Structure formats: C-alpha cells, structure tokens
Amino acid sequence: MVTNTAARAMNENARPMNPGTAPVSTLLLLAIVGLSALGLFAAPGLVERCLFRPYWFWRRGQYASAVTSAFVHADLGHLFFNGFTFWAFGFGLERAIGSARFALLYATGLGASAIGTYYQHRQDPGYATLGASGAILAVLFASIVYFPTSSIYVMPLPVPVPAPLFALGYLAFTWYAARHLRGRVNHDAHLAGALAGIGFVALSDPAALARAWHLVLG
C-alpha cells in the first residue's frame, strides 16, 4: 500500500532520464499502470481476482495472487504515489546496477513483502491486500544504499531530508505501525520490502553497503 511519505520522494542522484536505458523499469511501470488502469476503469473484477489473501493462499491454491496483487491498485491516488516513487528511484537504480540485478531486486522485494504479509495475516480469512509498495520500497532502500549522499523530499516538509536519515525514520515508524496501527496500509509489506532492499545489496554487493556506511559515518 502507498505511504504518505512517498508522494514527493525523489532521489536526486538517481533521476530517470532516457527510459530506453532502463528496460526492466520501463516494462514494470507500464505493466503496473496499464493493469491498474484496466482494473480501475474497464474490468473491476480484475482487481478482486488479483487480491492477495494470505488465509486462502494454501487453502484455495491462490498462489499467483502473491504476484498479481502487486500489479493492481485500490484507486488513482494509490497508483500515482506508487508509480511516482518507482519512476523517481527505479530508472536511475537500474542504470547503476544493471537490468538483470534490478529485476532480481524487484522480485526479491515483491517476494519478501508477500512473505511478510502472509506471516502476519495468515490466520485472518477476511484480510486482503494489493499494490506494489513492498517491491517499490525494496528499490527505494537499495537506491539509498547506492546513493547515500542524496536527499529525499517528504510531504509536507519544505526541505529535503538526507536519505540515510529518512531510511532510519521510515524503518522505525513502519516497525511501530506494523505492530500497533490498523487500517488500509499494509505496513508489514512495507517493512519487509524495505529490509529486503537493504539485504539484497548486502548480499549481492557488500562493497556498496560498506561504501555507504563509510560515507554516512565517515
């Protein structure tokens, strides 16, 4: 689900330029926007079929929903915030790490967010979720590791926030929210996706994580 902080998030060192240089990001964004728009305006039944329901994942064999739910959104605002955040971070990160690794990162974030959601809600037959936020947060947090000196705009603050400070604040808030707040926002998916982004870089490119640590802490 979308977060309020995502509305004006922009990694200043990873701004998208020519989408032709980021084919995976381009295809993912087109798929997210296209399928979400189809579900919102032409085929509302598509959204219902794509919802991820952890309780029914094994009981009814709804395995594909762990993936399909990440390509539909609840409304235009939800789609806009997720799409904008992905546009702001995904294209530049793909150019930095390569298309194959970027695709694997996105898949890792999507899988981690689905696992986090399943673990927390597997006993709730009425719970359902949708949206690409978990996978997109994996991209966002991996981007912070690769561009640790960048800044991020967070609504409604009028000045940019250093990316590492944003990361710490966001993780703390999401950890708290996942345990104490209830509502439409899937904080479990957000937390799992964000941690997956950091973990992916730590495993696939530990030098980048070490470099970020050095730049931030000196």
The rounded distance, in Å, linking the Cα atoms of 19 and 14 is: 13
The label of the residue with tokens 């399943």 reads 118
pLDDT at 21: 86
Q: How confident is the model at residue 6 (pLDDT cuts 50, 70, 90)?
A: very low
- Percent residues over pLDDT 70 in the chain: 91
State CA 109 to chain mean position distance.
Answer: 7
Mean pLDDT of 73-96: 95
For the domain that residue 202 is a member of, what is the CATH number?
1.20.1540.10
- Residue 4 pLDDT more than 50? no
How would DSSP label each residue in 45-98?
HHHHHH-B-HHHHHHTT-TTHHHHGGG--SSHHHHHHHHHHHHHHHHHHHHHH-
pLDDT digits (tens, 9 = 90+) for 119-165: 999 999 999 999 999 999 999 999 999 999 999 988 787 889 999 99
Longest dimension (CA), the chain: 53
Q: Which residues contact 194 (CB under 8 A, 6 or more apart)?
A: 137, 138, 140, 141, 167, 170, 171, 174
Q: How confident is the model at residue 20 (pLDDT cuts 50, 70, 90)?
A: low
Q: How confident is the model at residue 205 (pLDDT cuts 50, 70, 90)?
A: very high
- Residue 69 pLDDT more than 70? yes
- Residue 33 pLDDT more than 90? yes
The label of the residue with tokens 């094994």 reads 58
Instruction: Tell me which residue range forms the domain holding 18.
Output: 4-217
* Contact predicate 121/115, CB 8 Å: no
Domain count, the chain: 1
What pTM did the predictor assign? 0.90
